[in-house]
Amino acid sequence: MAVIDVSNLQKDYGSLQALKSVTLQVDSGQIYGLLGQNGAGKSTMIKILLGIVRLTSGEANLLGFPAGTIEVRKRVGYLPEDHAFPGYHTGESLLHFYGELYGMNRPDRVKRIAESLDIVGLSKRGSSKIKTYSKGMKQRLGIAQSFFHDPEVIFLDEPTDGVDPVGRKEIRELLATLKDEGRTIFVNSHLLQEIELMCDRVAIMHKGEIVRTGTVAELTKTVERFSITLAPGADFPVAEVKALGFKVERDDEETHVELKPGQSIDTVLDLLSSKNLRLRNVRESKQTLEDIFMDLVEQAERGSTKRGVRVARAVGARRDD
């Protein structure tokens, strides 16, 4: 059974559709990333699963129960995107506060605070005021708050946004540790590289719709692409390679050739050899998640434009009638 099971989920705010027939399943023990631009509907999805926002139609289940069920809320942790912990709190006093909300007695809180601060690397700063913490430290404390009560599922909304590279690496390592403990982690982010580095599976969302899901390896292996460098002074025969059915792009130093299913780079290399063009380097260049994301967004935008044209024509036809 999926830990998160969403089917044909829709959320409307008046005439605005924030989520459009979203279907998604997340298995236990994964770091699952929901990737999309700001405003794509990622935070709305989390808030529905947590019961903060009501769905308009469809189904949203968490741990086998309808989203928002009180019993389920006790089994999940949450770090919102724009959290702002009071600066007068220390790391320890903040976790005491949340522990009381969770109904934990003081001896259990004291024990758990020491363990949690150690896990997130803040054991030496637990008695310091939060107003003295860096952005990365505040994020790590927020993550400690999210798993303080030992939840089965943790929701993190933009956990590395605004954090420096060192802090991001530390947070990725922290999430890997939590995953190794058997927890399921659901991460929202618009930071493509972070999602690519930390997640087992990814769903790409655009304007309230899921446009692609899969492992990072599956998503980034959809197209074969080779980067070719010729010897100095040699001109790559772009037009001839395109005539063979290949997609070709140029930059300052390399020529990038994209293969369709059934094509082989050997065809291009044979052409270069027949023209006595010397190769300096040929390498297969893996697509990044950013490449995939941008391609999918462009395809979705083109599809939206075509739908808009069809609707406009239909409306025009009705008016002419």
Could you tell me the residue range of the domain that residue 262 belongs to?
224-284
User: Residue 235 domain-assigned?
Assistant: yes
pLDDT tens-place string over residues 103-120: 999 999 999 999 999 989
Instruction: Work out the number of other CB atoms within 10 angstroms of the CB of residue 272.
Output: 19
Q: Choose among 287, 284, 172, 283: nearest CA to 218.
A: 287
User: Residue 318 domain-assigned?
Assistant: no
Q: Are 144 and 172 spatial neighbours (Cβ–Cβ below 8 Å)?
A: no
pLDDT given at position 252: 76
Q: Are 226 and 257 spatial neighbours (Cβ–Cβ below 8 Å)?
A: yes
Residues 247 and 272 in one domain: yes
Residues 259 and 199 in one domain: no
Residues 16 and 133 in one domain: yes
Residues 113 and 142 in one domain: yes
Residues 102 and 231 in one domain: no
Domains contained in the chain, number: 2
Residues 241 and 139 in one domain: no
pLDDT tens-place string over residues 180-225: 999 999 999 888 888 888 999 999 998 899 988 988 888 876 567 8
Residues 253 and 156 in one domain: no
User: Residue 321 domain-assigned?
Assistant: no
DSSP percent split of the chain into helix, strand, coil, nearest 5: 40, 25, 35
User: Residue 313 domain-assigned?
Assistant: no
Q: Which two tokens stand for residue 91?
A: 């790391």
Overall average pLDDT of the 40-60 stretch? 92
pLDDT given at position 321: 45
Residues 237 and 211 in one domain: no
pLDDT tens-place string over residues 75-111: 999 998 888 899 999 999 999 999 999 899 999 999 9
CATH number at 253 reads 3.30.70.100
The residue ranking higher by pLDDT, 243 or 39, is 243
CATH number at 78 reads 3.40.50.300
Q: Choose among 186, 141, 143, 139: nearest CA to 163.
A: 139
Residues 135 and 242 in one domain: no
DSSP 41: S
Overall average pLDDT of the 278-294 stretch? 80
Residues 166 and 261 in one domain: no
User: Residue 290 domain-assigned?
Assistant: no
User: Residue 104 domain-assigned?
Assistant: yes
Looking at the whole model, is its pTM more than 0.85? no
User: Residue 158 domain-assigned?
Assistant: yes
The pLDDT-based confidence of 311 (bands split at 50, 70, 90) is: very low
